[in-house]
Amino acid sequence: MIVIRDLCKSYATPSSTVTALSEVNLTIDKGDIFGIIGFSGAGKSTLIRCLNRLEEPDSGSIRIGDHVITDLNDKELRLARRKIGMIFQQFNLLDAKTVWHNVAFPLQVAGHPKPYIRERVAEILELVQLSDKAGAYPAQLSGGQKQRVGIARALANEPDVLLSDEATSALDPQTTYSILELLQDINRKLKLTIVLITHELDVLSHICRHMAVIEGGTIVETGTVDQFFLNP
């Protein structure tokens, strides 16, 4: 379902060129929960941001379902991105909007009619167990509740894939597990493919079925999580 081939990305800085990704190859099955783990600076964030072209790769290809993401023009990319949800470490919510409007926003941008938006927002807020917070502003929520809003917003347009960029790294352990369990529940109920990056082994072992280890911008290991943890 997701096929990454020979992906390269470097950043030009005033003093030098930093190679963030070098010939990355990876295949992720539809419906999987796939974890990518590595130390800080390994290239995790660059890799996951290339999947929806928040970063432009220098070369290589990315296919998600029927879309060759790396070949899309701007308009095609905008449409394809509706089917790729993303959640972030710092939640990236719209602070001036209520929970309800944060979740409605991507549906409004997609041009859905108001009655559909009302129905859909209610449905997703129920899924993430935040129906009672619809009128609250992000500043009035706990970290875990904020991330639930982030998840609800990411799911609004019924994506095929959910990308998680260290989504639990700002949360305490107990809240982390409740968010991971929500992601697992969503994966089961919606048959959604989840790709998550993390620097924490615990996060990965808790919910992922397959995983890859990234070091210095290349994938050094891939396999099932059980292989990694049962046969060191």
Residue with tokens 């470097």: 10
List 34, 44, 171, 194, residue binding ligand ADP (CB under 6 A): 44
Stretch that binds ligand ADP, among 10-18, 148-156, 175-183, 187-195 (CB under 6 A): 10-18
Pattern 15-34, ligand ADP, x by CB under 6 A: ---x-x--------------
Q: Which is closer to ligand ADP, CB of 66 or CB of 95?
A: 95
* 135 counts as binding ligand ADP under rule CB under 6 A: yes
Count of residues binding ligand ADP (CB under 6 A)? Answer: 17
Phi and psi dihedrals of 88, rounded to 5? Answer: -130, 160
List 53, 97, 112, 118, residue binding ligand ADP (CB under 6 A): 118
Residue of this chain nearest to ligand ADP (CB atom): 45
List 24, 26, 35, 38, residue binding ligand ADP (CB under 6 A): 38
Output the 3-class SS for the chain: CEEEEEEEEEEECCCCEEEEEEEEEEEECCCCEEEEECCCCCCHHHHHHHHCCCCCCCEEEEEECCEEHHHCCHHHHHHHHCCEEEEECCCCCCCCCCHHHHHHHHHHHCCCCHHHHHHHHHHHHHHCCCHHHCCCCHHHCCHHHHHHHHHHHHHCCCCCEEEEECCCCCCCHHHHHHHHHHHHHHHHHHCCEEEEEECCHHHHHHHCCEEEEEECCEEEEEEEHHHHHHCC
Q: Which is closer to ligand ADP, CB of 45 or CB of 187?
A: 45
Interaction residues for ligand ADP, span 166-205 (CB under 6 A): none
Taking the complex as a whole, the smallest distance from the CB of residue 18 to ligand ADP amounts, in Å, to: 4
* 100 counts as binding ligand ADP under rule CB under 6 A: yes
* 13 counts as binding ligand ADP under rule CB under 6 A: yes
- Contact residues: ligand ADP, CB under 6 A: 11, 13, 18, 20, 38, 40-46, 98, 100, 118, 134-135
